[in-house]
Amino acid sequence: MEEEDEHGSIQSLLTWASHIGISDAPTTTDQPHHSHALASSLFVSHFPHTGGRGLGAVRDLRMGELILRVPKSALMTSDSVMQDTKLSDALNRHPSLSSTQILNVCLLYEIGKGKASRWHPYLMHLPKSYDILAMFGEFEKTALQVDEAIWVTEKSVLKTKSEWKQARALMEDLKFKPQLLTFKAWVWASATVSSRTLHIPWDSAGCLCPVGDLFNYDAPGKEPSDVGDLENFLSNSLIHDASFSNEDNTIVADAGQLDSESWRLTDGGFEEDANAYCFYARANYKKGDQVVIESCFLCH
């Protein structure tokens, strides 16, 4: 029964994602309409030995191929949430908070909206809890036994509590529901932001990226060590002889412009010309393989 509920939740998320423009189609033109966002390149599945729930390849994918596009309008950022004038006016009255504290507040603010939030299907899909140091009580700290580990845990708890107390005045100003004012709620928001945000150039706190955060992470692979490796990368990638255009979403590059930095960023990032977060295959994948990204382009 739980599996059926989760499957229904995933389908609701993907249907919503499709409606707001999230797509795994290789191009933006002449694509058939799908009942949910993932159908051309990716599917959601469980990979019990390599990260649990993640994204798999619907078909063979080539290194460097565009596999997921999340428009800027779908990203949850402080800027996008602050389009709500009530929130932006309140933030102007509390200017001392860090960008990460602001994004935490924005996340809890949208949670408080319930179904009225434009990100409601995504928010309902987020983990309900996290195992992080800031949630450790006396029993968990004592169980660590090593003095240094206990000190690190206590420091993490104190830091998180300090950030929560600093932000509490803003949350009270916004008349948050009592359960969203608690330290437990703040820890949940902090854990969500610290573990799931991706880098964006305009906000150091990063962004929450619906569907894009379903990828599991893998350690960075070997970088090309010589011209032969780079040529091999090019021959197996759609980057070869490509030039970007909004019509077909090919990549801005030609063979002469690529270097080791291009190799490291194969996973993707936010692209101004596409006005979207674009993800690319970091390797060649066979149909059914789990598709992973490197944690190196996380914001934190």
* Residue in the block written with tokens 């949670």: 111
Find the mean pLDDT for residues 4-32: 76
Same domain, 243 and 228: yes
Q: Which carries the bigger pLDDT value, residue 15 or residue 237? A: 15
Q: What pLDDT, in 10s, does the model give residues 120-179?
A: 999 999 988 877 666 666 656 666 666 777 667 777 788 999 999 999 999 999 999 999
The domain boundary, picked from 150, 174, 207, lies at 207
Whole-model pTM: value is: 0.77
Q: Please, which residues bridge with residue 294 across strands?
A: 218
Same domain, 94 and 21: no
Number of structural domains the chain divides into: 2
| Per-residue pLDDT at 139 | 58
| Per-residue pLDDT at 229 | 42
Find the mean pLDDT for residues 235-246: 36
Same domain, 222 and 273: yes
Instruction: Write the secondary structure of 150-188 as one string of H (helix), E (strand) and C (coil).
Output: HHHHHHHHHHHHHHHHHHHHHHHHCCCCHHHCCHHHHHH
Same domain, 58 and 90: no
- Model confidence band, residue 10 (pLDDT cutoffs 50, 70, 90): confident
Same domain, 28 and 139: no
| Per-residue pLDDT at 258 | 36
Same domain, 174 and 128: yes
Regarding beta strands 42-47 and 216-218, do their DSSP bridges make them parallel or antiparallel, or are they unpaired?
A: unpaired
Same domain, 58 and 118: no
Q: What DSSP line would sit under the chain, residue for residue?
A: -HHHHHHHHHHHHHHHHHHTT-B--SSSSSPPP-SSS-SSSEEEEEETTTTEEEEEESS-B-TT-EEEEEEGGGSB-HHHHTTSHHHHHHHHT-TT--HHHHHHHHHHHHHHHGGGSTTHHHHTTS-S----GGG--HHHHHHH--HHHHHHHHHHHHHHHHHHHHHHHHHHHTT--GGGSSHHHHHHHHHHHHHH-EEETTEEEEEB-TTGGGSEEE---PPP-SHHHHHHHHHTSTTTT----TTT---S--GGG--HHHHHTTTEEEETTTTEEEEE-SS-B-TTPEEEEEGGGB--
| Per-residue pLDDT at 49 | 80
Same domain, 162 and 227: no
The domain boundary, picked from 145, 180, 207, lies at 207
The domain boundary, picked from 167, 189, 207, lies at 207
Same domain, 180 and 225: no
Same domain, 85 and 16: no
Q: CA nearest 99: which of 199, 30, 25, 32?
A: 199
Q: With beta carbons less than 8 A apart as the criterion, state whether 17 and 36 touch.
A: yes
Residue 98 has pLDDT above 90, yes or no: yes
Domain that holds residue 247: 2-74+212-297
Same domain, 23 and 110: no
| Per-residue pLDDT at 231 | 42
Q: How far apart are CA 196 and CA 119, in angstroms?
A: 15
Find the mean pLDDT for residues 18-28: 86
* CATH number where 15 lies: 2.170.270.10
Mean pLDDT of the chain, nearest integer? 79
- Model confidence band, residue 294 (pLDDT cutoffs 50, 70, 90): confident
Same domain, 162 and 186: yes
Q: What pLDDT, in 10s, does the model give residues 200-217?
A: 999 999 999 999 999 988
